[in-house]
Amino acid sequence: MEKFLNSLPKPVLVVGAILIAVIVFMVMEPPHTVCDTQEEGLRESLKGQLFSTQVKKNTIPPSIVREKEACQLGNSAGSCYEYFSTLKNVAAAVTKGSSQCAGQLYEVKEVGSALNDGIELMARLAWGIKPPEPGTFERFGWLTEAEIATFCRLKNTYVRANGEEAWTALRQKVSAKLPGEEVPLTPEGTVSTVEPRKASEVLTEEDIWNRSLFSVRCDNY
């Protein structure tokens, strides 16, 4: 090999070395793509809301952590207002990117978690502590039209990034967690330690769909 290299003209060796260096650089540092640029823009636009910020040596957690906790504890339009607003901003930031980059934007850990958690929490809030009666309004719980529109925006963003099959799988996963009955009470009136049944144990998949927020016609929002 050494004799072969020595036999080559110096210009050939120089060009070969440059080509090898370029290949190594591209492997270690892949070219910056359009989707990378869109991801950087998303991270910048959601800094403080979805991504933590750095103030001197202190790391400030994103506001969505506090907002989600307040929504879960308050379980009302007022306590969930900021959380839903942030979810809309996340969906808008993903939708702002091109359809070809939607998958990469969703794969950002914070983005995927926010969309998945938001969809599940909104479905749970609408469902309540037991299966709602089938009907036009009961399946929405206390959610207003504006909040249902937010749910539809999250759904459309998820489908745009992952496709309809992935949405169906997510819907089924969330539906399996919905309660099928209230937490039973003991004869003394205290909360029983018996685990309440899930909706999937007392209702068919079609019935769960008809009673849940997942059945909303998002074309109307």
pLDDT of residue 221: 81
Q: Once rounded to an integer, what is the mean pLDDT over residues 211-220?
A: 92
Tokens 């036999």: give the residue. Answer: 7
Tell me what pLDDT residue 57 has: 81
Each as own residue / partner, the long-range contacts of residues 35-41 (CB below 8 Å, 24 or more positions apart, any chain) are 35/97, 35/98, 35/100, 35/101, 35/104, 35/105, 38/96, 38/97, 38/98, 38/101, 38/104, 38/105, 39/101, 39/104, 39/105, 39/108, 41/93, 41/96, 41/97
pLDDT of residue 59: 86
Phi and psi angles of residue 191, each rounded to the nearest 5 degrees, phi first:
-70, 130
Mean pLDDT, residues 180-205 taken together? 74
The backbone region for 200, taken as left when phi is positive above 0, alpha when psi lies in -120 to 50, beta otherwise, is alpha
Mean pLDDT of the chain: 85
Element (H, E) at 58: strand 58-60
Cβ–Cβ under 8 Å, residues 105 and 117: no
Q: Within its chain, how far is the Cα of 34 from the centroid?
A: 22
Question: Token digits for 201?
Answer: 């144990």
The distance of Cα 100 from the centroid of its chain, to the nearest Å, equals: 18
Asked if residues 212 and 127 have their Cβ atoms less than 8 Å apart, the reply is yes
